[in-house]
């Protein structure tokens, strides 16, 4: 058996000399010979191809000798092997520093494991739960009781942030103060209190835009004053009243799918598009009113819609909630579920009703943050 291999002299990888490899008889016998006597010994010895085959041939001889039971004699190290080894030696890569998970910066809610927020008193209860696929809770709430020392004056609000929590946080901290301040200084009566609330919403939006941060928030608020209920909203948060067990929506969601909202947007040069089953403003935002959203401020207005009613004996409780609830639970269903908890104080509390509503929405597939607040209206008459 014989075989030969020839290397082209024009190859830039190998040395200029032609090397033939032949094996006769058995594959254990291997020899390497330069085909040209005029080839430079230096160039042949420095060829990586030659050094590789020399190592391979030596390994074959060692293997053959071991099979025959003969101890192989050590071969002297060649200069070509040392040169080739130094050339082929790889440098250790630089160490990669991977930060620990504890050292990475996330939102406060995630870092503290904050998934739920709840509060309860004799006059109200609130329960907020972070969405299952949310990194941080963007919903916020606000409760101010006995404002200015008046037990009949109170403010409640649910704020649903989008594009971050900054707008919801800002609105929850400031909107109530702006509204109460306007009502107190202007001495707004039953007839013009709606204008005072509107000024509070507009001031909240203007002050937040000065922060120059991204994001926005939908809002629903309730101001109770001397037996008067003032409910306002901007966005898709909703207020539902239980009047003797019958659900009565006090707000209307501000979404681009509403005909009047769509007409307003298009009259200002904007457009409404259907994206994966949801009508969106400029193809991005699913609400048409709210706080913030500076990049869409031409069309997303903070002006609320307000409804004012007198609290009568049939007015049992008020539900304020984000769209995380209303997308999965309708108005009457929410009232029916919460009413037994709100009327029978001996068996349960309104906090249990809030929890039940949130759990119902979550079991129906809601991935959004869900916030529910229930206010017992008869305490403010």
User: How distant is the alpha carbon of residue 104 from its chain centre?
Assistant: 16
226 band by pLDDT with thresholds 50, 70 and 90: confident
**Superfamily designation of domain 112-254+289-380:** PPM-type phosphatase domain (3.60.40.10)
Q: 7 phi and psi, to 5 degrees?
A: -110, 130
**Lowest mean per-residue pLDDT among 28-42, 121-135, 240-254:** 28-42
> In terms of C-beta density within 10 A (0-12 exposed, 13-18 middle, 19 or more buried), how is residue 381 classed?
middle
Kindly tell me if the per-residue pLDDT of 59 is higher than 80: no
349 versus 114: which is more confidently predicted?
Answer: 349
Cα–Cα dist 326/366, whole Å:
10
Kindly tell me if the per-residue pLDDT of 83 is higher than 60: no
Report the pLDDT value the prediction gives residue 132, as an integer from 0 to 100: 87
Report the pLDDT value the prediction gives residue 98, as an integer from 0 to 100: 61
- The DSSP element (H or E) to which 178 belongs, if any, is helix 166-186
93 versus 217: which is more confidently predicted?
Answer: 217
Report the pLDDT value the prediction gives residue 242, as an integer from 0 to 100: 97
Kindly tell me if the per-residue pLDDT of 283 is higher than 80: yes
- pLDDT (average), residues 54-58: 49
Average pLDDT along the chain:
80
Kindly tell me if the per-residue pLDDT of 30 is higher than 90: no
> Which residues make up the CATH 3.60.40.10 domain(s) of the chain?
112-254+289-380
| pLDDT tens-digit readout, 181-192 | 998 887 766 668
- Where do we find the tokens 């071969």? 75
**Lowest mean per-residue pLDDT among 49-63, 173-187, 276-290, 342-356:** 49-63
Give helix 48-67 / helix 79-88 axis angle, nearest 10°: 110
Report the pLDDT value the prediction gives residue 156, as an integer from 0 to 100: 97
- pLDDT (average), residues 50-63: 47
Report strand pairing: 272-275 vs 305-310: unpaired
Please count the other Cβ atoms lying within 10 Å of the Cβ belonging to residue 330. 12
With H, G, I as helix, E, B as strand and everything else as coil, classify residue 200: helix
| pLDDT tens-digit readout, 256-279 | 999 999 999 999 999 999 988 889
87 band by pLDDT with thresholds 50, 70 and 90: low
40 band by pLDDT with thresholds 50, 70 and 90: very low
115, two tokens? 């998934």
pTM of the model: 0.70
Report the pLDDT value the prediction gives residue 25, as an integer from 0 to 100: 47
């Amino acid at each position: 058996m014989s075989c030969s291999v020839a290397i082209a002299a024009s190859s830039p990888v190998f040395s200029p000399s032609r090397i033939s490899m032949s094996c006769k008889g058995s594959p254990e016998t291997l020899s390497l010979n330069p085909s040209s006597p005029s080839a430079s010994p230096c160039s042949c010895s420095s060829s990586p191809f030659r050094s590789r085959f020399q190592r391979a041939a030596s390994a074959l001889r060692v293997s053959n000798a071991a099979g025959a039971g003969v101890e192989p004699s050590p071969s002297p190290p060649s200069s070509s092997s040392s040169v080739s080894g130094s050339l082929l030696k790889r440098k250790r890569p630089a160490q990669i520093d991977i930060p620990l998970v504890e050292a990475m910066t996330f939102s406060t809610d995630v870092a503290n494991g904050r998934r739920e927020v709840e509060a309860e008193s004799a006059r109200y209860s609130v329960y907020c739960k972070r969405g299952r696929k949310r990194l941080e809770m963007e919903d916020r709430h606000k409760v101010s009781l006995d404002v200015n020392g008046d037990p009949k004056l109170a403010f409640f609000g649910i704020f649903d942030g989008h594009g971050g929590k900054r707008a919801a946080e800002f609105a929850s901290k400031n909107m109530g103060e702006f509204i109460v301040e306007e009502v107190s200084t202007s001495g707004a009566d039953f007839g013009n209190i709606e204008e005072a609330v509107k000024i509070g919403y507009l001031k909240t939006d203007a002050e937040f835009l000065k922060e120059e941060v991204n994001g926005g928030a939908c809002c629903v608020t309730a101001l109770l004053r001397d037996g008067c209920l003032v409910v306002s909203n901007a966005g898709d948060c909703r207020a539902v009243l239980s009047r003797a067990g019958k659900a009565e929506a006090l707000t209307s969601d501000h979404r681009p799918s509403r005909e009047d909202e769509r007409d307003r947007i298009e009259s200002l040069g904007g457009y409404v598009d259907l994206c994966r089953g949801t009508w969106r403003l400029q193809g991005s935002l699913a609400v048409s009113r709210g706080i913030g959203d500076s990049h869409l401020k031409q069309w997303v207005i903070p002006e609320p819609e307000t409804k004012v009613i007198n609290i009568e004996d049939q007015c049992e409780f008020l539900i304020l909630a984000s769209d995380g609830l209303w997308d999965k639970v309708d108005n009457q269903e929410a009232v029916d579920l919460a009413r037994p908890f709100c009327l029978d104080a001996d068996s349960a509390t309104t906090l249990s009703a809030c929890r039940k509503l949130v759990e119902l929405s979550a079991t129906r597939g809601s991935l959004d943050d869900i916030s529910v607040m229930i206010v017992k209206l008869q305490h403010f008459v």
